[in-house]
Amino acid sequence: MITPTDFRVPPVDAIALETRVAELATRSIKKDAKKKGLEMVVAMTDLTTLEGMDTPGKVKALCRKAWRPLAGHPELPSCAAVCVYPDLVGTAVESLRGSTVAVASVATAFPSGRAALDEKLADTRRAVAAGAGEIDMVIDRGAFLAGRYGQVFDEICRVKDACGEAHLKVILETGELRTYDNVRRACRIALLAGGDFLKTSTGKVTPASTMPVVMLMLEAVRDHYLETGRLVGVKAAGGIRAAKDALRYLVMVNETCGDHWLDARYFRFGASSLLNDVLMQWVRLRTGVYQRPEDFSKD
């Protein structure tokens, strides 16, 4: 059994990883496969607004969009969740009552994670109490980069406790971890600490989600499943704006982890502008022509 201070992981070869990703990016997704893929992307999207200027009005509009992404097309699935700051969870819960859309809240002093542990736990409990079904926490990158892996592990465990029934997504903020080896190790820590999802980024740091990093996470959750039987999800968040790119992520999921993960329970996109491009492509497949961007609601 692995002790909480032993987070050994296999090394990652950057060239091999990026070569595989580039190879999968050449997959040609057409016709029915494209339609199915786009519909999966919609169903896997955590429609997100995480701005200082967020208001109840903005969140309500976003919730309506997540519930029914395209007016007049009830056959399109709803998005997986709406992702907001803790103080707006109540508004989102209210707006989404009766839908299948979950409410996710960032917590733990998002996005920097620089606060005392008890404040992070209180932050989490408040969001859960307000009705958030999913908590997106950030790890302490300072502790991680200083080599205090045990501290990172303990903190995730504590937040997981504070979540209760709520699902815990662990944001690694891979743009700050910098190396693939660091990402792989952070995945290991989050998996052992009981995270329900590995999430790439806050969206506040560049680069946010990249394909090689998500590939690495997919390999980590796949290996963890084979080792323990526990299915953990992956959320690619930030920087994915084009439907074409989202389909490339899905190809990675399809050919790395397979069928179990082709499901909104185990793969998510954290995005805001992506959805409209997906909808535009989806409509084009049905009608053969592109609509104007103005034809899609901008909420």
Partner 1 sequence: MTQHREREKSTAPPRPALSFGQKWRYAPAPEATDFVAIAPRHELFIAGDWSAPRSGRYFPTIEPATETPLSEVALGDEHDVDRAVAAARAALPAWSALPAEHRARYLYRIARVLLERAREFAVLETRDGGKPIRESRDVDVPLAAQHFFHHAGWADKLELAFAGRAVQPVGVVGQVIPWNFPLLMAAWKLAPALACGNTVVLKPAETTPLTALRLCEIFRDAELPPGVVNVVTGDGSTGAALVRHLGVDKVAFTGSTAVGKSIQTALAGSGKGLTLELGGKAAHVVFEDAAIDGAVEGVVRGIFFNQGHVCCAGSRLLVQEPIAELFVEKLRHRIERIRVGDPLDKNTDLGAINSKEQLARITALVTRGVDEGGTLVQSSCALPNKGFWFPPSFFTGVSQTDSVVREEIFGPVLTIQTFRTPDEAVEKANNTSYGLSAGIWTDKGARILWMAARLKAGVVWNNTFNRFDPGAPFGGFKESGFGREGGRQGLAAYAKCTGGLVQG
Size of the site for partner 1 (CB under 8 A): 36
To which H or E segment does residue 271 belong?
strand 267-271
Whether 211 and 249 have beta carbons less than 8 Å apart is answered as: yes
What's the CA gap between 94 and 10, in Å, rounded? 45
Q: Does 13 bind partner 1 (CB under 8 A)?
A: yes
User: Contact region for partner 1 (CB under 8 A) — 30-38, 54-62, 93-101, 269-277?
Assistant: 30-38
One of 2, 3, 5, 11 touching partner 1 (CB under 8 A): 11
User: Contact region for partner 1 (CB under 8 A) — 28-36, 50-58, 93-101, 159-167?
Assistant: 28-36
User: Contact region for partner 1 (CB under 8 A) — 16-24, 59-67, 122-130, 275-283?
Assistant: 16-24
Q: Could you give the angle at which helices 211-228 and 243-256 cross, rounded to 10 degrees?
A: 30
Residues with catalytic roles: 136, 199, 235
Residues 245-264, interacting with partner 1 (CB under 8 A): 250, 254-255, 257-260, 262-263
One of 1, 3, 5, 16 touching partner 1 (CB under 8 A): 16
What's the CA gap between 158 and 153, in Å, rounded? 9
* 167-171 and 81-84 beta bridge pairing: unpaired
Residue 81 CB-density burial (10 A; 0-12 exposed, 13-18 middle, 19+ buried): buried
Structure tokens at 14: 């950057």
Contact set with partner 1 (CB under 8 A):
10-13, 15-17, 19-20, 26-34, 36-37, 40, 219, 222, 225-226, 228-229, 250, 254-255, 257-260, 262-263
